[in-house]
Structure 1
Amino acid sequence: MLALRRLFCTLLVAVVLLLLTPAAASAQVHEHQDENGAPMLRSLESLRDLDYQSWQAVAYRVGEPGNPVVLRIVGYPGKMRLEHPTSLLVQAGVKEWQLEDITLENALLATDGREAAAEFALDPLLNDLSNKRPLRLFLPGVFNEMPVPPYVVAEWRDVQTEPLS
């Protein structure tokens, strides 16, 4: 009887942990301050392209909802050698977007010789999406295809609409 009780308790704990773990593991949108001390909301995710190279995708907005949302793609230094401006191609099924390269508008990135990051205007994509569907990113000369899962798209949409606390 004691062994059966222990087995039941162990199974109950395992089920509770399985139910709680997905919520704890999902990434969230976080509030930070930019380099000037202004409040910003951001989503930071690590993604891999089809060549299995790692990239950081940072979607951020400075200030209140309605302000522009920027997507920063960050790789190892020297991996973002681009002739600016170079648009980021985004595909979702048969839909396609060309996101404007705004890297040179950021004074820190424009003068950074490491060539590790590029920024793109994300609002045209977010304004056109009606759901959190998977996306594919293409950046000529940098990576051929980088899948973006739906939960990341949901975070990007949250960055656009969530108020700062």
Structure 2
Amino acid sequence: MNKRNLFAIAIAFCLIFWPLAPAQAQLQSHNDGNGVPVLRSIESLRDLDYQAWQLVAYREGLPGGPLRLRIVGYPGKVRLNHPTALQVQSGEKNWNLADITLENPTLSSDSRDAAAEFDLEPLLSSLKKNRPLRLMLPGVFTELPVPPFVVQEWRQLPNQPL
């Protein structure tokens, strides 16, 4: 056996048997423009039509603060009408998250209409497991799958210290 084959076998052995670290949440904290602490999870996901969307789940202030989900599309490719409730499904469970975009002065004055914001608290308060979710926004996308690792990050938002 030559050195090249031996090296390849050693690499394969390490890849197979080396213990992997568990996935870590990617929560980020920072202060907004007014100095209010914000804890957030940012993910880019694709809907079933392969359109990319950025999902920003965040909490303003200390644990117990408001929980929001902002969905952002590519400006010029999508126009979001408000108010439109976000429909969420997981198995047999369904939620309709209220569109609160117009309550946010920054989003309500943005002429691109490429973002929408929803109250995330009703969903997070009733989720007991990190289950995959399916998001539907009528007139915008029919299904945006959210994997369990993203749901895990979201579920940490309400009580995670800054």
| Common fold by TM > 0.5 | yes
SS in 1 for 2:125: helix
> Once the two structures are superposed, what CA deviation does each residue of 1:59-93 show, in whole Å capped at 9, x if it has no partner?
001111111110000011131331x2110000011
SS in 2 for 1:19: coil
Could you say if the C-alpha distance between residues 69 and 2 of structure 1 is closer, same or farther in structure 2, counting changes exceeding 3 Å? same
**2:106 maps to 1:105:** no
Residue from 90, 93, 105 that aligns with 1:92? 90
Contact 2:25–2:152 (Cα < 8 Å) also in 1 = no
SS in 2 for 1:28: coil
Equivalence for 1:120: 118
- How far apart, in 1, do the equivalents of 2:153 and 2:116 lie? 20
Contact 1:88–1:138 (Cα < 8 Å) also in 2 = yes
- How far apart, in 1, do the equivalents of 2:48 and 2:160 lie? 31
Matches within 5 A, 1:111-150: 111-150=109-148
Equivalence for 2:80: 81
- How far off its partner does 1:13 sit? 4.6
Amino acid at match of 1:132: N
- How far off its partner does 1:33 sit? 1.7
Unpaired stretches in structure 2, ≥5 consecutive residues: none
Equivalence for 2:29: 31
Equivalence for 2:65: 67
Amino acid at match of 2:59: R
Could you say if the C-alpha distance between residues 108 and 131 of structure 1 is closer, same or farther in structure 2, counting changes exceeding 3 Å? same
Could you say if the C-alpha distance between residues 15 and 114 of structure 1 is closer, same or farther in structure 2, counting changes exceeding 3 Å? same
SS in 2 for 1:160: coil
Q: TM-score scaled by structure 2? A: 0.88
> Once the two structures are superposed, what CA deviation does each residue of 1:1-44 show, in whole Å capped at 9, x if it has no partner?
99598677645654576724x64xx5511112222222110000
Q: CA RMSD in A?
A: 2.3
- How far apart, in 2, do the equivalents of 1:101 and 1:161 lie? 23
SS in 2 for 1:32: strand
Equivalence for 2:20: 19
Identity %: 57
Contact 1:136–1:147 (Cα < 8 Å) also in 2 = yes
- How far off its partner does 1:161 sit? 1.7
Q: TM-score scaled by structure 1? A: 0.86
- How far off its partner does 1:103 sit? 0.2
Contact 1:80–1:118 (Cα < 8 Å) also in 2 = no
- How far apart, in 1, do the equivalents of 2:14 and 2:70 lie? 41
Q: Which segment is superposed worse, 29-38 or 90-99?
A: 29-38
Which structure dedicates a bigger proportion of its chain to helix?
A: 1
Unpaired stretches in structure 1, ≥5 consecutive residues: none
